Structure 1
């Protein structure tokens, strides 16, 4: 907790607004996405689902692969507790929605479905930006996959999201074989340095100039902060945006290397 507080203090001091940004690409992203205050109807749909899940006291068994990716003991947890702790808060879910709407990805990959709240934001945002898209979401726990599918069906997006169950280390290689390219990637799972960097390197072959990589909890621990620093230093990375709780990585060859810390 002290490390997180220290990291946030550093972020707060160094973060810039759009007025300190000279890159047209990043300036547009801030203006059209980060600062977009419109209340889209889809927000209300997803937040209604979140509230229903927060009120759900039923207990389910969850296989937790933990930060190390190794299967831990199966635990019994209330659905309400999972919804409260695992899903991205509304502010960040809405940002992911707008990012999908803005970038219009055709091929999307998510690490960490959980109950599907964050997945729903992204799928509905992609619907606004593109007539057709492919969205694969990876989840370690079989029961969470089943619950997420029920939630997707309720929202009418069950045909939009393909769920894959199992340890990311084992499921990712096969999933990548089935993609010709990746336009949008959201990584929220296995919060350790080595796996995070490994997943990134595995996906590079499927990435292209306009691919968006989004990493969750980049300052969750000293180890994740180190992973973020190594991602920024990768020779193919030209642009990074640090929003403290999430980080965006781009491989834009036409842009000079620059790393931004943006207040959000």
Structure 2
């Protein structure tokens, strides 16, 4: 990630108090801001996880909150993601079942991760996930701002008719397929920082005054 890209994200992002969707407010406040299991940097190093700490830590929190049963990980880095998710499951007493992309998932998957690094592969995997989804499926695309290919992939997913609610938390993109929701996109800071949030709040206040 570049410093400029991350700064631009922070400047445009919200915390849970800026979200007016009850569904998204509940998800963000419970998955990110509530007290709960966290992956420490020491654990990340000790387990020799092969995905970057910011992504692993967010995935850990999301899995700990959702407690999914049926999981679907696609892509060239699938083994690295599955290893990390298995650790999260074991630490939080969650029975994660990983399904093969070669056959349909009975009833659809609960949780899916696209572990690809180029647009064509991401969108091919997303198509498979859509066909194996149900109304409460949660899909994750890591690294959405890592390069132009992944940013283009994320934009294509935002435009997909089945992606009704999407959340950019910078290190991950989160996709929901809830048919009852109007199509909405959110940019959310997944952690709190007093000074950073105060500065962003001042920006918002001046915007209102202007």
TM-score by length of 1: 0.62
1:83-126 per-position Cα deviation (integer Å, ceiling 9, x unaligned): 5xx3231x543432332232232210224223865223442367
Counterpart for residue 102 of structure 1 = 65
| SS of 1:209 mapped into structure 2 | strand
Deviation at 1:133, TM superposition (A): 4.2
Summarize the Cα distance change of 1:220–1:179 in structure 2 as closer, same or farther, 3 Å threshold: same
Deviation at 1:205, TM superposition (A): 1.1
Deviation at 1:38, TM superposition (A): 3.3
Summarize the Cα distance change of 1:194–1:253 in structure 2 as closer, same or farther, 3 Å threshold: same
Counterpart for residue 124 of structure 1 = 90
Counterpart for residue 146 of structure 1 = none
| SS of 2:80 mapped into structure 1 | coil
Matches within 5 A, 1:139-150: none
Unaligned runs of 5+ in 1: 54-82, 137-163, 165-171
Counterpart check, 1:185 vs 2:185: no
| SS of 2:93 mapped into structure 1 | helix
Partner Cα distance (1:110, 1:126) in 2: 19
Higher normalized contact order (CA 8 Å, seq sep 6+, divided by chain length): 2
Deviation at 1:39, TM superposition (A): 4.7
Deviation at 1:222, TM superposition (A): 1.1
Counterpart check, 1:200 vs 2:164: no
Q: Could you tell me which of 68, 88, 95 is aligned with 2:52? A: 88
Summarize the Cα distance change of 1:183–1:38 in structure 2 as closer, same or farther, 3 Å threshold: closer
Summarize the Cα distance change of 1:49–1:11 in structure 2 as closer, same or farther, 3 Å threshold: closer
Q: Could you tell me which of 106, 114, 119 is aligned with 2:80? A: 114
Summarize the Cα distance change of 1:52–1:241 in structure 2 as closer, same or farther, 3 Å threshold: closer
Deviation at 1:8, TM superposition (A): 1.9
TM-score by length of 2: 0.77
Unaligned runs of 5+ in 2: 191-210
Number of equivalenced pairs: 186
Counterpart check, 1:20 vs 2:18: yes
What CA RMSD, in Å, does the superposition of the two structures yield over aligned residues?
2.6
